[in-house]
Amino acid sequence: MSEVDVAEAAGLTTGAVARRLGVSPTTLRSWDRRYGLGPASRSQGRHRRWSPQDVAMVEEMCRLAATGVAPAEAARVARSTHGEGAPPATVPAAPAPAPEPVRPPETAGRRGGAGGGLPLGDVRQECRGLARAAVRLDAPELESRLLDAVRQHGLTTAWEEVMVPTLRAVGRKWESSGDRYVEVEHLLSWQISTALRRAPLVLPRPADVTGTEPVVLACAPGEQHSLPLEALDAALAELGVPTRMLGAAVPVEALLACVRRTGAVAVVLWAQTRSTASGPLARHVAGLQWGPSGARRRPFVLPAGPGWDRRAAGDFPRCGGLRDAVRTLGGLYGVEGASRSTGRG
């Protein structure tokens, strides 16, 4: 018998079960208190030891919760499947959960609660399953859930209400956990970036817009944070607006050459921090001219990102977020500049 077999025969600790399932020990203790999903026996000294049957029960709980089943119902099914329909004899039965209140239409599908130990708060149901998959480093599950969110809600709503809240929760966990969870944030960011590029495969084909001159999307020189700009690129593609994505840290000369060569209708300059937001650069791009004499054209310049405060943005239009940017840029092409799903389903 291997050392692993011996350990499992003796029972796993709560920490070992938490690592295996990708949830926090606190979550397991909470499920034990609320739903009776705990170890059936304890060793000397009252240490909690999880048998294979106990582990199977909480694995079922995780699987059901990740698909969006309410925790109380997921626990009931897990107990009936792996715990003979009732909490273990040595664990006091939890009181029946109070019926959940009827939620108004604008908040249906949203609940608080943990998602793989991440501090999610009051978010859409999809965020919780996405967070659990991220903590487990389950790339195929992340890809499936992200594309499902885009397909169901449209790009803008999927970004604002599913992707961003989960990214922020991972960031908060990273900040409070030293060097832990860095790999979770990197994987989640990469999968979101991949989903944004694959979004056209799952969204309806947009109608052609008038004109072929694009919107040029570029991070300011020195700016490496490009994921929000990728979301804007995908959201504009959902509307059929042509784009040229230049990505992170675009040199000034390259940006100016692209704007001139494409005859850009608009230029979006993304800056995540104040140190990369450059008012002089925005004014220089806005002053570019091309075309025959008497019919000169200039690009519409939209500074975007939290780095652009009022001083840096000057007289340029302020961008309040992805939905605002899509509406503004879509209007330049005569299309409805908002995601097809604006409510919270």
Start-to-end CA distance of the chain, whole Å, equals 52
CA distances from 121 to 115, 118, 150, 165 (A): 9, 9, 22, 9
220/305 Cα distance (integer angstroms): 10
Stated pTM of the model: 0.64
State the pLDDT at residue 91.
36
Amino acid at 83: G
State the pLDDT at residue 345.
37
DSSP 15-53: HHHHHHHTS-HHHHHHHHHHH--S-SEE-GGG-EEB-HH
328/267 Cα distance (integer angstroms): 12
DSSP 268-334: EEE-SSTTT--HHHHHHHHT--BSSTTS-B--EEEEESTT--HHHHTTSPP--SHHHHHHHHHHHTT
213/54 Cα distance (integer angstroms): 61
Q: Which two tokens stand for residue 123?
A: 């978010």
Per-residue pLDDT of the chain (345 residues; tens, 9 = 90+): 343 443 444 578 887 887 777 677 777 877 887 788 888 765 544 566 888 888 888 888 887 776 656 777 778 888 887 764 444 433 333 344 444 433 333 333 444 444 556 667 777 888 888 988 998 899 999 999 999 999 999 999 999 999 999 988 887 776 666 656 688 888 999 999 999 999 988 898 887 776 789 999 999 999 989 999 999 999 999 999 999 999 999 999 999 999 999 999 999 999 998 889 999 999 999 999 887 777 778 999 999 999 998 888 888 988 888 999 999 999 999 887 544 443 433
State the pLDDT at residue 150.
94
List Cβ neighbours of 181 (8 Å cut-off, separation of 6 or more): 170, 173, 174
342/338 Cα distance (integer angstroms): 8
Closest CA to 303 of 245, 217, 239: 217
Closest CA to 69 of 107, 100, 48: 100
State the pLDDT at residue 88.
42
Neighbours of 177 (CB within 10 A): 12
